[in-house]
């Protein structure tokens, strides 16, 4: 099966060709990070405009590099949501135009299922599995009993993990996107500050990061008021330790609850070095195989959309030319 995937849900314009859901033939990404940095975050209107500029070039680049002919493709898969509506529309309309022009089926994809399927480039998935999705907009524990089946068994009650990283980075004066900057700064510090861990009710698999966020911000203000020099590296390390500990423990509880054969980690925060090492250690201790994508497949890309789209294609999921982007698409419908 040869699928062209297209992704424009946030600030990456991306296209990729994937074979059998497991082999990347090409993977083109145009990131807008440098453009949005001066605003301190993604500006939706600016993102849409740049997607319009890039979409044609990126799709051509993905096709050229793949050495696959349009006539050899089986389908075009595109991110339908969730994401920024104006940004989604550019990808959806581009995909519709290409599907129509080349007489190819159109397969709608849920962005988060893409993040999960980035793991299939590392190893074949085995079910049941637990996927921890930690990205800029999501923090979810997803139970999968087979390909293309998603049951959310835990979710955040306030901020997403990536959002918390970005906000704390801003408090510490680090530029957007803050996650990678905190990760790097934390390596120079120690997790000596005792920030809270939100376990919530006994047995709950939900997350909450707003209390931690307030605790860090209050700590910074108090230190400043007392005229102390801020040890930003220690603050970053302590914040990261709190996030990581909760993510890892809840993921392992979920995995044991469903007798998971695998644990997957997905989304931008799975690039975090402490989350990766602590998850590896915990999974090894319990003897549960763990998959985490290589760094460049953790953040937004279209190879993962093509990989999830392959499953949708084989299940018979199709969209016609009335397909529309949807900012708040539910994963259970996929």
Binders of ligand ATP among 98-137, rule CB under 6 A?
Answer: 111, 115, 135-137
Contact window for ligand ATP (CB under 6 A) among 13-21, 61-69, 267-275, 286-294 = 267-275
Q: Binding marks (x or -) toward Fe ion, 130..169, rule CB under 5 A?
A: -----x----------------------------------
CA atoms of 105 and 213, how far apart (whole Å): 45
Nearest approach, Cβ of residue 27 and ligand ATP (Å): 15
**Sites of contact with Mg ion (CB under 5 A):** 10-11, 300
CA atoms of 57 and 300, how far apart (whole Å): 18
CB nearer to ligand ATP: give 83 or 94: 83
> Residue 218 burial by CB count (10 A; 0-12/13-18/19+): exposed, middle or buried?
exposed
Is 320 marked as a binding-site residue? no
CA atoms of 20 and 94, how far apart (whole Å): 23
Q: How many CB atoms lie within 10 A of CB 318?
A: 13
Nearest approach, Cβ of residue 23 and ligand ATP (Å): 22
Contact of 114 with 79, CB cutoff 8 Å: yes
Nearest approach, Cβ of residue 36 and ligand ATP (Å): 11
**Residue with the shortest CB distance to ligand ATP:** 268
Does position 271 bind ligand ATP by CB under 6 A? yes
Q: How many CB atoms lie within 10 A of CB 92?
A: 23
DSSP designation for 153 = E
Which of ligand ATP, Mg ion, Fe ion, none is residue 272 near (CB under 5 to 8 Å by kind)? ligand ATP
Contact window for Fe ion (CB under 5 A) among 28-36, 128-136, 189-197, 317-325 = 128-136
CA atoms of 56 and 51, how far apart (whole Å): 9
Which of ligand ATP, Fe ion, Mg ion, none is residue 83 near (CB under 5 to 8 Å by kind)? ligand ATP
Q: DSSP of 31-63, one letter per residue?
A: E-HHHHHTTTS--HHHHHHHHHHHHHHHHHHHH
Provide the token pair at 304: 């993962």
Contact window for Fe ion (CB under 5 A) among 48-56, 199-207, 237-245, 299-307 = 299-307
CA atoms of 50 and 46, how far apart (whole Å): 6
Does position 191 bind ligand ATP by CB under 6 A? no
Contact of 19 with 25, CB cutoff 8 Å: yes
Among 117, 165, 239, 334, interactor with ligand ATP by CB under 6 A: 165
Nearest approach, Cβ of residue 56 and ligand ATP (Å): 22
Residues at the site binding ligand ATP, with contacts judged by CB under 6 A: 9-10, 83, 111, 115, 135-138, 162, 165-166, 177-180, 183, 267-269, 271-272, 299-300
């Amino acid at each position: 099966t040869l699928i062209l995937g297209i992704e424009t849900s946030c600030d990456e314009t991306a296209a990729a060709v994937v074979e059998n859901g497991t082999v990347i033939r090409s993977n083109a990404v145009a990131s807008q990070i440098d453009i949005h940095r001066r605003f301190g975050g993604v500006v939706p209107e600016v993102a849409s405009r740049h997607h319009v500029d890039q979409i044609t070039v990126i799709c051509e680049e993905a096709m050229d590099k793949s050495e696959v002919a349009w006539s050899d493709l089986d389908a075009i898969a595109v991110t339908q949501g969730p994401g920024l509506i104006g940004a989604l529309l550019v990808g959806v309309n581009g995909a519709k135009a290409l599907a129509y022009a080349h007489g190819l089926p159109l397969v709608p994809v849920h962005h988060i299922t893409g993040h999960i399927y980035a793991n299939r480039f590392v190893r074949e998935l085995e079910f049941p599995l637990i996927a921890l999705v930690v990205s800029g907009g999501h923090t979810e524990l997803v139970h999968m009993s087979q390909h293309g089946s998603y049951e959310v068994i835990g979710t955040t009650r306030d901020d997403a993990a990536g959002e918390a990283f970005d906000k704390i980075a801003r408090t510490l004066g680090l530029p957007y996107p803050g996650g990678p900057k905190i990760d790097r700064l934390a390596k120079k510090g120690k997790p000596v500050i005792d920030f809270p861990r939100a376990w919530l009710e006994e047995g709950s698999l939900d997350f909450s990061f707003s209390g931690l966020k307030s605790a860090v911000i209050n700590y910074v203000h108090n230190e400043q008021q007392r005229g102390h020099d801020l040890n930003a590296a220690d603050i970053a390390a302590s914040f990261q330790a709190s996030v990581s500990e909760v993510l890892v423990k809840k993921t392992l509880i979920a995995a044991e609850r469903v007798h998971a054969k695998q644990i997957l980690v997905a989304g931008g925060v799975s690039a975090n070095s402490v989350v990766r090492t602590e998850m590896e250690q915990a999974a090894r201790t319990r003897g549960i195989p763990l998959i985490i994508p290589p760094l460049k497949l953790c953040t937004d890309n279209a190879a993962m959309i093509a990989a999830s789209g392959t499953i949708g294609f084989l299940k018979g999921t199709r969209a016609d030319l009335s397909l529309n982007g949807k900012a708040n698409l539910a994963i259970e419908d996929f």
